[in-house]
Protein backbone atom coordinates (compact mmCIF):
# COMPACT_ATOMS: atom_id res chain seq x y z
CA UNK A 1 0.00 0.00 0.00
CA UNK A 2 2.71 2.49 0.99
CA UNK A 3 4.80 2.02 -2.11
CA UNK A 4 1.75 1.74 -4.36
CA UNK A 5 0.18 5.10 -3.42
CA UNK A 6 2.46 7.06 -1.12
CA UNK A 7 5.65 6.98 -3.15
CA UNK A 8 3.92 8.05 -6.39
CA UNK A 9 1.91 10.67 -4.46
CA UNK A 10 5.10 12.10 -2.96
CA UNK A 11 6.78 12.13 -6.36
CA UNK A 12 3.72 13.85 -7.87
CA UNK A 13 3.80 16.47 -5.10
CA UNK A 14 7.46 17.10 -5.82
CA UNK A 15 6.61 17.58 -9.49
CA UNK A 16 4.05 20.22 -8.47
CA UNK A 17 6.60 21.99 -6.26
CA UNK A 18 9.27 21.89 -8.97
CA UNK A 19 6.78 23.16 -11.58
CA UNK A 20 5.70 25.97 -9.26
CA UNK A 21 9.29 27.01 -8.57
CA UNK A 22 10.08 27.21 -12.27
CA UNK A 23 6.83 28.55 -13.73
CA UNK A 24 5.86 30.91 -10.91
CA UNK A 25 9.16 31.54 -9.14
CA UNK A 26 11.51 31.96 -12.10
CA UNK A 27 9.13 32.84 -14.93
CA UNK A 28 6.62 34.82 -12.84
CA UNK A 29 3.50 33.32 -14.46
CA UNK A 30 1.14 33.82 -11.52
CA UNK A 31 2.58 37.21 -10.57
CA UNK A 32 1.90 38.51 -14.10
CA UNK A 33 -1.75 37.47 -13.79
CA UNK A 34 -2.47 38.18 -10.12
CA UNK A 35 -0.16 41.04 -9.16
CA UNK A 36 -0.46 43.65 -11.85
CA UNK A 37 0.61 47.12 -10.72
CA UNK A 38 -2.03 49.72 -9.94
CA UNK A 39 -1.50 53.34 -10.92
CA UNK A 40 -1.25 55.53 -7.80
CA UNK A 41 -1.06 52.43 -5.60
CA UNK A 42 -0.58 54.36 -2.35
CA UNK A 43 -3.82 56.29 -2.81
CA UNK A 44 -5.76 53.19 -3.87
CA UNK A 45 -4.35 51.27 -0.89
CA UNK A 46 -5.33 54.06 1.51
CA UNK A 47 -8.91 54.12 0.20
CA UNK A 48 -9.19 50.32 0.36
CA UNK A 49 -7.65 50.12 3.85
CA UNK A 50 -10.19 52.66 5.07
CA UNK A 51 -13.16 51.13 3.23
CA UNK A 52 -12.55 47.37 3.23
CA UNK A 53 -12.11 46.47 6.90
CA UNK A 54 -13.41 42.87 7.04
CA UNK A 55 -11.93 39.91 5.15
CA UNK A 56 -13.96 38.83 2.13
CA UNK A 57 -14.59 39.32 -1.54
CA UNK A 58 -16.13 42.59 -2.62
CA UNK A 59 -17.57 43.76 -5.91
CA UNK A 60 -17.53 47.47 -6.75
CA UNK A 61 -20.15 48.35 -9.36
CA UNK A 62 -20.51 51.64 -11.22
CA UNK A 63 -23.30 53.95 -10.03
CA UNK A 64 -26.78 53.15 -11.32
CA UNK A 65 -28.15 55.23 -14.18
CA UNK A 66 -31.95 55.16 -14.49
CA UNK A 67 -32.05 52.15 -12.17
CA UNK A 68 -29.57 50.09 -14.24
CA UNK A 69 -25.83 49.62 -14.41
CA UNK A 70 -24.43 51.46 -17.43
CA UNK A 71 -23.03 49.32 -20.24
CA UNK A 72 -19.29 49.35 -20.74
CA UNK A 73 -18.45 50.62 -17.24
CA UNK A 74 -15.88 48.57 -15.31
CA UNK A 75 -16.79 46.35 -12.37
CA UNK A 76 -14.01 45.82 -9.84
CA UNK A 77 -13.39 42.84 -7.61
CA UNK A 78 -11.54 43.24 -4.33
CA UNK A 79 -10.30 40.21 -2.43
CA UNK A 80 -9.09 40.75 1.13
CA UNK A 81 -7.94 37.71 3.09
CA UNK A 82 -7.56 39.55 6.38
CA UNK A 83 -3.79 39.14 6.63
CA UNK A 84 -0.69 41.07 5.63
CA UNK A 85 2.78 40.10 4.46
CA UNK A 86 3.67 38.71 7.89
CA UNK A 87 1.49 35.66 7.15
CA UNK A 88 3.52 34.61 4.09
CA UNK A 89 5.79 32.14 5.93
CA UNK A 90 3.13 30.10 7.74
CA UNK A 91 0.88 30.17 4.67
CA UNK A 92 3.73 28.92 2.48
CA UNK A 93 4.23 25.94 4.79
CA UNK A 94 0.50 25.14 4.65
CA UNK A 95 0.51 25.41 0.84
CA UNK A 96 3.52 23.08 0.62
CA UNK A 97 1.58 20.51 2.64
CA UNK A 98 -1.59 20.92 0.57
CA UNK A 99 0.35 20.51 -2.69
CA UNK A 100 0.63 16.79 -1.92
CA UNK A 101 -3.12 16.20 -1.41
CA UNK A 102 -4.01 16.24 -5.12
CA UNK A 103 -1.29 13.81 -6.23
CA UNK A 104 -2.12 11.45 -3.34
CA UNK A 105 -5.80 11.42 -4.32
CA UNK A 106 -4.88 10.94 -7.99
CA UNK A 107 -2.49 8.11 -7.06
CA UNK A 108 -5.19 6.39 -5.00
CA UNK A 109 -7.72 6.73 -7.84
CA UNK A 110 -5.26 5.45 -10.40
CA UNK A 111 -4.23 2.53 -8.17
CA UNK A 112 -7.91 1.59 -7.88
CA UNK A 113 -8.49 1.79 -11.65
CA UNK A 114 -9.22 -1.28 -13.75
CA UNK A 115 -6.48 -3.64 -14.82
CA UNK A 116 -7.07 -2.52 -18.43
CA UNK A 117 -6.23 1.10 -17.51
CA UNK A 118 -3.23 0.07 -15.42
CA UNK A 119 -1.84 -2.16 -18.18
CA UNK A 120 -1.29 0.78 -20.55
CA UNK A 121 1.00 3.74 -19.88
CA UNK A 122 -0.99 6.09 -22.18
CA UNK A 123 -4.26 5.10 -20.49
CA UNK A 124 -2.78 5.83 -17.08
CA UNK A 125 -1.60 9.24 -18.28
CA UNK A 126 -5.02 9.98 -19.78
CA UNK A 127 -6.73 8.81 -16.58
CA UNK A 128 -4.80 11.25 -14.39
CA UNK A 129 -4.70 13.92 -17.09
CA UNK A 130 -8.50 13.81 -17.17
CA UNK A 131 -8.49 14.75 -13.48
CA UNK A 132 -6.43 17.84 -14.33
CA UNK A 133 -8.69 18.66 -17.25
CA UNK A 134 -11.75 18.32 -15.04
CA UNK A 135 -10.15 20.59 -12.44
CA UNK A 136 -9.26 23.17 -15.10
CA UNK A 137 -12.70 23.18 -16.70
CA UNK A 138 -14.68 23.15 -13.44
CA UNK A 139 -12.49 25.42 -11.30
CA UNK A 140 -10.44 27.72 -13.53
CA UNK A 141 -12.50 28.50 -16.63
CA UNK A 142 -15.55 29.66 -14.64
CA UNK A 143 -13.31 32.24 -12.91
CA UNK A 144 -13.84 34.82 -15.63
CA UNK A 145 -16.39 37.51 -16.14
CA UNK A 146 -17.82 40.25 -13.97
CA UNK A 147 -15.42 40.98 -11.13
CA UNK A 148 -13.11 38.09 -11.96
CA UNK A 149 -10.35 37.21 -14.44
CA UNK A 150 -10.51 38.20 -18.10
CA UNK A 151 -11.28 35.12 -20.22
CA UNK A 152 -7.73 34.97 -21.56
CA UNK A 153 -6.24 34.86 -18.05
CA UNK A 154 -8.72 32.20 -16.91
CA UNK A 155 -7.84 30.14 -20.00
CA UNK A 156 -4.10 30.53 -19.27
CA UNK A 157 -4.65 29.30 -15.72
CA UNK A 158 -6.65 26.35 -17.08
CA UNK A 159 -3.86 25.46 -19.54
CA UNK A 160 -1.36 25.78 -16.70
CA UNK A 161 -3.37 23.31 -14.61
CA UNK A 162 -3.72 20.82 -17.48
CA UNK A 163 0.03 20.99 -18.19
CA UNK A 164 1.06 20.41 -14.59
CA UNK A 165 -1.43 17.58 -14.18
CA UNK A 166 -0.05 15.91 -17.31
CA UNK A 167 3.41 16.04 -15.70
CA UNK A 168 2.00 14.52 -12.52
CA UNK A 169 0.22 11.94 -14.69
CA UNK A 170 3.52 10.93 -16.28
CA UNK A 171 5.08 10.35 -12.86
CA UNK A 172 2.10 8.43 -11.49
CA UNK A 173 1.80 6.34 -14.67
CA UNK A 174 5.48 5.50 -14.43
CA UNK A 175 5.24 4.37 -10.79
CA UNK A 176 1.80 2.72 -10.51
CA UNK A 177 1.44 -0.70 -12.09
CA UNK A 178 -1.20 -3.41 -11.95
CA UNK A 179 -1.14 -5.44 -8.75
CA UNK A 180 1.37 -8.25 -8.85
CA UNK A 181 3.82 -6.49 -11.18
CA UNK A 182 7.19 -5.42 -9.81
Buried b (16+ CB within 10 A) or exposed e, 13-52: bebbeebbeeebeeeebeeebeeeeeeeeeeeeeeeeeee
| Phi, psi values for residue 81, rounded to 5° | -85, -10
SS3 60: strand
Give me the pLDDT at residue 166, please: 96
Whether 39 is in a domain gets the answer yes
DSSP bridge partners of 78: 58
Whether 180 is in a domain gets the answer no
Whether 181 is in a domain gets the answer no
Q: What is the number of structural domains in the chain? A: 1
d(CA 75, CA 55): 19
Whether 154 is in a domain gets the answer yes
Give me the pLDDT at residue 3, please: 74
pLDDT tens-place values along the chain, 182 residues long = 667 899 999 999 999 999 988 998 899 898 888 888 899 999 999 999 999 999 999 999 999 999 999 998 999 988 888 888 787 777 777 787 778 899 999 999 999 999 999 999 999 999 999 998 998 899 888 888 877 888 999 999 999 999 999 999 999 999 998 877 65
d(CA 152, CA 91): 28
Range of the domain at 79: 2-175
Whether 182 is in a domain gets the answer no
d(CA 181, CA 123): 17
What's 39's DSSP letter? T
Whether 95 is in a domain gets the answer yes
Whether 88 is in a domain gets the answer yes
Amino acid sequence: MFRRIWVPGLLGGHVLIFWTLIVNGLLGFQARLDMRPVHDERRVHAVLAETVTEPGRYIVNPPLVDGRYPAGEPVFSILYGGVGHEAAGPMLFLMLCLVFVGPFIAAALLAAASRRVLASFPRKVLFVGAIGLLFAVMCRLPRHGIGDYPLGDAALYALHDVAVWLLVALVLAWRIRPRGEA
